[in-house]
Amino acid sequence: MAIIGGFSSASLLAAGIVLSVVALVVRRYYFHPLSKYPGPFSHVVSSIPVAVSLLRGNNHAHLKRLHDKYGPVVRVAPNELSFCSPQAYEDIYGFRSHDEPMEKDPIWIGALMTMNGEVGISYAPRDVHARQRRAFSHPLSNTSIKQQEPLIQEHIQTLVHRLEELEAAGKPANFTDWYTFTTLDIISDLYVGTPFGCLTTCDRQWLEALQMGMQCGVYEQATRRLAGSHTWLQRKLYEYVVPTVLKQGKMTHFLKSKEKVMERIQDEERDHKDFMYYILRNSEAKNLLSPTEILLNSATFIAAGGDTTAATLAAITYCLLTHPDTLETLKAEIRGRCKTQQDITHDNVKDLPYMEAIIREALRFYTPVVIGSLRQVPPHGQGVMVDGNYVPAGTTVSIPQWTATHSELNFTRPYEFLPERWLHPEKFPKDRQGAAQPFSLGPRGCIGKNLSWLEMRLVICHVLWAFDLELEGGKEGAWKWDPDGDVKHVKAYMMFQRPNLWIRMKKARR
């Protein structure tokens, strides 16, 4: 071993590494462009704490605690700021008429795979996103969704019939699963013209593949925080850190989606007016999407349309059954408007004020996506203003949705389920309703928002018209849903890993 000035080369190397780390820490803490923003020392100098919270499935609670301590703007990583105000939503995700829009940060990209260098609508750069969104604008328009209502009603009727069978047998139902079976059958029938048959077979394979795929994406985000995007080290971390079962689930979801799409493409002349009908028959839409993009978007739409709506339906049902007075008021509203089951049409129930307030409050109380969608301030610009704060070019910014909807800065008594806050906002003068954006906003706002609202209204009306419900085992039977402590009893990887929701049904008393 070489000796230099009395020191071995190994000692000098070790000293050099230590000095480099110290210099990096000093720079990040004292001389970084974000040094004026508050945050814990460990987060200011390293991305490890946030990465660990993602891997543990408690990122939503972790960031909420940081905002509770440090305020509306927190430096959560060396080059990352977290916000929680309504104005920050507009500044980060909204339409930016005079400024270059913020693209999704490369750290965030990765929840769904790429193919041949192409990506789906959720992760596409601005111009590609706009092109793909135009292709889906017609099948997801209000007019087209209205035309699809009979198909949606058919699947909801199947749900009701399956619940009737369980009720007749004296058995409870796990509504967490049944809602997901319903929304998966609806979105698959809408997208490729063939339902998955989940309501018929009760096959949980696709449901589990969806959830594992989302968890895999969050794990991959953690590796990118630690080692950058598409680096050799990041690929190695992904290989060894992400459990094989999650990678297999992600692949299963994609391959099953691909199989359904390929079957539909081969039946191009089919008259069933699903999403693929409009894409394959409309020359403009067909030219806007490559075959690879059609495949990637199938996985995206099935994941988004099949899981987020089901999550909200389960949350609504839990909240109703733990708030009996609210449940009785809603049942009276629905059954007063709809004398027969045939009266349950979207046109007839879309303006029920109490139901609208309940859905909006459930979307706040159990926001479907709990972590923030990362954006990057244009790296070659002059920086931007976010909620009155100057943010330098190249900074990663986001709003963690669970933090925004459960912060006392935005909502009075945020851990209480209070539909009245949406019916009578004057009674909640300190509420900042713009902090609840479950579908996001701006040019990347959820393209399936109208479909989701239609499904939620119709499912809730049909279920509460047909049945009287009670939690199996009383309120204690669903204790894991309790939001106390930021739903500390379950993990969240982009979305909560929803606990079972066992409910006993009885035919409605009229």
Does residue 350 sit in helix, strand or coil?
coil
Dihedral sign from CA coordinates of 269, 274, 276, 282: positive
**What is the C-alpha separation between 3 and 35, in angstroms, rounded?**
40
Asked if 472 and 503 touch (Cβ cutoff 8 Å), the reply is yes
DSSP state of 479: G
Single-letter residue type at 140: L
Q: Identify the CA nearest to 180 among candidates 23, 270, 264, 305.
A: 305
Backbone Cα Rg of the chain:
24
The whole-angstrom separation of Cα 420 and Cα 361 is 9
State in Å, rounded, how far the first CA of the chain is from the last one: 90
Q: In what helix (H) or strand (E) does residue 482 lie, and over which residues does it extend?
A: none
Angle at 228 between CA 227 and CA 231, to 5 degrees: 85
DSSP helix/strand/coil, 375: strand
Task: Transcribe 300-336 into DSSP letters.
Answer: HHHHIIIIIHHHHHHHHHHHHHT-HHHHHHHHHHHHH
Measured CA distances, 22 to 16, 29, 47, 290, 316 (Å) = 10, 11, 16, 49, 50
Per-residue three-class SS string for 214-274: HHHHHHHHHHHHHHCCCCHHHHHHHHHHCCHHHHHHHHHHHHHHHHHHHHHHHCCCCCCCC
Copy the structure tokens of residue 370.
């709990």
Question: Is 198 within any annotated ligand binding site?
Answer: no
CA gap 56, 244 in Å, rounded: 17
Return the amino acid letter for 197.
G
Instruction: Provide CB contacts within 8 A for 92, sequence distance 6+.
Output: 83, 102, 375, 386, 397, 398, 399
Q: Which residues of 206-220 are buried (b: 16+ CB within 10 A; e: fewer)?
A: bbebbbbbbbbbbbb
Write out the H or E segment, with its range, that includes residue 114: none
Residue 426: which residues within 8 A CB-CB, separation 6 or more? Answer: none
The CA distance from 250 to 230, in Å, is 18
* Strand blocks (E) in 370-460: 375-376, 384-386, 389-391, 396-398
| 83 strand-pairing partners | 73
* Binding-site entries for heme: 446
* Binding-site entries: 446
